[in-house]
């Protein structure tokens, strides 16, 4: 996060003060609070329209709830003071058991708040559905007619992020560059375990799961450098599973694509399988070309040579169920395509009985 250095400095101060006398601890507390006060929260300072609408939703929901919380907190103090043991102004009525007007206030106000929150949640859930293409790229700025979204395929690995730009034919690791004011469609999956893709300044969190494809539509409206990370614990390297998000103009994006194509290496099947192995604190990497259909093979879990694809296995399962045969994976032959190593020749089946015995049987 932008305030990560400040938090680290404050943490050092808080750890150090444990060994200091009380007067020194108090002296160090003020700088620690000053460090934390300088933090910039990206959730409340977004650079994209989807994140902006989500932030407004947080503000509106919080305001609606405060309409009940603040009066209740005030009334707690008022009642405690008015009906204290030494008070003389309060009316003492031991037979009081019901007040229609009081009941109406107690029940109608929370009910109206719940109705308003429910309507807001229902509408925003559909409006900000990550699978739904955007209607606008900024307030009062609709998506240009006929402009296709930029496609980015996201693969959560252990413990790094792979970004494939299928239309540009390039890929990066732990580096995501987007043109501002252009709709982006993210197709998201994972290689090994459930993870989550989260760039707070861009949009909300979306899960990444092996064998499944999630989708997120978003837009970045401000050029600059931001950060994304995994919001779902996934093992030893989780803390450093972060990526750099950079917003540039259209010309800057085209220039960046050209630099990647000029200076990167190809991401073929062998390179991907090596990249897929668990690794921590991986620096940004660039690939000038990507093996055709790589993302689809990652989703279908058949990147390794000879591995049957999930959609092929499921199709074989359906045929087997219809014919009453065995399961589909048992029926699937090894895969052979342009990106797979040739399969070894099958060994000849051993005879069911020795040749002499077979001759004697005749």
Query: pLDDT tens for residues 42-61?
Result: 888 999 999 999 999 999 99
Spacing of C-alpha 100 from chain mean position = 49
pLDDT of residue 30: 55
pLDDT greater than 50 at residue 75 = yes
Task: Give the separation between CA 145 and CA 360, rounded to whole angstroms.
Answer: 83
CATH topology of domain 147-299: Immunoglobulin-like (2.60.40)
pLDDT of residue 136: 94
pTM comes to 0.76
Structure tokens, 313: 């296995």
Which segment of 4-8, 83-87, 252-256 scores lowest on mean pLDDT? Answer: 4-8
pLDDT greater than 50 at residue 92 = yes
Query: 267 and 289 in contact (C-beta within 8 Å)?
Result: yes
Query: 46 and 9 in contact (C-beta within 8 Å)?
Result: no
- DSSP-derived 3-state class of residue 198: strand
Give me the mean pLDDT over the 336-355 stretch. 46
Which segment of 268-272, 294-298, 350-354 scores lowest on mean pLDDT? Answer: 350-354
Closest to 206 (Cα-Cα) out of 280, 270, 131: 131
Query: 185 and 177 in contact (C-beta within 8 Å)?
Result: no
Domain ranges for the chain, please list them: 4-40, 49-84+99-127, 147-299
pLDDT of residue 195: 94
Closest to 245 (Cα-Cα) out of 231, 225, 265: 225
Q: How many CB atoms lie within 10 A of CB 116?
A: 14
Give me the mean pLDDT over the 197-226 stretch. 96
Q: Give 11-27 pLDDT, tens digit per residue.
A: 444 444 445 566 555 55
Q: Where residue 319 falls among pLDDT bands split at 50, 70, 90?
A: confident
Sort strands 170-173 and 161-165 into parallel, antiparallel or unpaired.
Answer: antiparallel
Which residue is it, tokens 């459930």? 194
pLDDT greater than 70 at residue 340 = no
Task: Give the separation between CA 53 and CA 42, rounded to whole angstroms.
Answer: 13
- The secondary structure of residue 87, as a DSSP letter, is -
């Amino acid at each position: 996060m932008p305030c990560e250095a400040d938090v680290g400095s404050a943490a050092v101060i808080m750890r150090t003060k444990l060994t200091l006398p009380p007067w020194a601890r108090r002296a160090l507390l003020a700088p620690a609070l000053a460090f934390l006060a300088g933090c910039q929260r990206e959730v409340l300072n977004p650079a994209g329209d989807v994140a902006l609408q989500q932030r407004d939703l947080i503000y509106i929901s919080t305001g609606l709830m405060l309409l009940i919380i603040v009066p209740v907190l005030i009334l707690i103090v008022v009642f405690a003071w008015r009906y204290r043991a030494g008070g003389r102004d309060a009316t003492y009525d031991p037979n009081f058991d019901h007040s229609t007007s009081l009941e109406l206030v107690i029940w109608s106000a929370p009910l109206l708040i719940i109705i308003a929150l429910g309507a807001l949640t229902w509408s925003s859930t559909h409006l900000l559905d990550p699978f739904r293409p955007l209607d606008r790229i900024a307030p009062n700025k609709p998506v240009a007619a006929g402009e296709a979204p930029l496609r980015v395929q996201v693969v959560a690995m252990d413990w790094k992020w792979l970004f494939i730009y299928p239309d540009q034919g390039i890929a990066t690791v732990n580096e995501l560059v987007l043109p501002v004011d252009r709709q982006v469609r993210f197709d998201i999956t994972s290689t090994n375990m459930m993870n989550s893709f989260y760039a707070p300044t861009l949009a909300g969190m979306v899960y990444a799961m092996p064998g499944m494809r999630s989708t997120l539509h978003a837009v970045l409206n401000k050029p600059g450098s931001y950060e994304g990370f995994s919001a779902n614990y996934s093992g030893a390297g989780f803390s450093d599973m972060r990526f750099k998000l950079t917003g540039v103009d259209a010309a800057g994006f085209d220039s960046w694509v050209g630099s990647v194509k000029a200076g990167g290496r190809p991401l073929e099947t062998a390179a991907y399988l090596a990249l897929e192995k668990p690794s921590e604190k991986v620096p940004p990497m660039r690939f000038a070309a990507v093996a055709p259909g790589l993302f689809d093979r990652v989703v279908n879990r058949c990147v390794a040579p000879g591995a049957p694809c999930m959609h092929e296995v499921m199709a074989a399962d359906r045929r087997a169920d219809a014919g009453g045969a065995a399961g589909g994976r048992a029926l699937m032959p090894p895969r052979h395509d342009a990106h797979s190593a040739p399969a070894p020749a099958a060994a000849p089946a051993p005879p069911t009985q020795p040749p002499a015995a077979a001759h004697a049987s005749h």
